[in-house]
Amino acid sequence: MALQQISDTGILSWVCTGEGCGNQITTHYLDERVAYQQSVKRARDGFPRAVIALPACPECERQTALHADYTRRDILRLNVLKPVVNDIGLVQGFVMHLPHVRNLLLHHLLHQAGRIPHAPLLPLLPEQRTLHPWLQSLSRDVAHAFWFPYSLIDIAAQVPFEEYLMGLHGGRPLPPAVEPLQVRAPGAS
């Protein structure tokens, strides 16, 4: 199960995976039924596991839970990152699969609202950062699909984010923006 969207106004959208259901479900991320739940049971690495529980489907009552509290090990073990390879097969960088990006964005939103006691492992794109126009033209989800792996691999001190993106783009200059969008949290002005 994956979130299909987190709108700029904070509306979450997903499809129920209950047997034969497929109901389209929406709710606001501040809905009290959206809840962080930490497991008492610990995983093999010794860390407790947590999920973000979404409201049950009104049709079939199936409960949906999203992965929360990603560790570096989870990110590598769960194939959360997709390598970006060049023409000769060398890895130029990584991009994060969108379902995991949305889980992390929801975790950030709930943390900022005081509903989760700690922020996720990977930071959000800094709002004050001046971004390349191409990156500004991307949706918040897609921009973070590039940002989260960049922040994970700790190269920020050596390689500026825009140069990292150029490496993913085969070393060519980034394309110009098509329709500039603001990269910001839902509800931010």
pLDDT tens string 132-172: 777 777 888 888 898 888 888 765 557 777 777 777 766 55
Contact (Cβ atoms closer than 8 angstroms) between residue 51 and residue 67? yes
Q: Give me the residue label for tokens 């994956």.
A: 2
Domain ranges, ordered by start, for the chain: 5-168
> Quick check: helix, strand or coil at residue 18?
coil
pTM tops 0.85: no
Radius of gyration of the chain (CA): 18
Amino acid (one-letter) located at 154: D
Length of the chain counted residue by residue: 189
Q: Give me the residue label for tokens 């009104």.
A: 58
CA–CA distance, 51 with 68 (Å, rounded to integer):
5
Q: In 26-160, which residue ranges form alpha helices assigned H by DSSP?
A: 72-77, 98-112, 133-136, 140-152
Contact (Cβ atoms closer than 8 angstroms) between residue 18 and residue 59? yes
Amino acid (one-letter) located at 106: L
Task: Report the range out of 19-23, 37-41, 112-116 with the highest average pLDDT.
Answer: 112-116
User: Does residue 33 carry a pLDDT above 70?
Assistant: yes
Contact (Cβ atoms closer than 8 angstroms) between residue 81 and residue 98? no
Contact (Cβ atoms closer than 8 angstroms) between residue 103 and residue 96? no
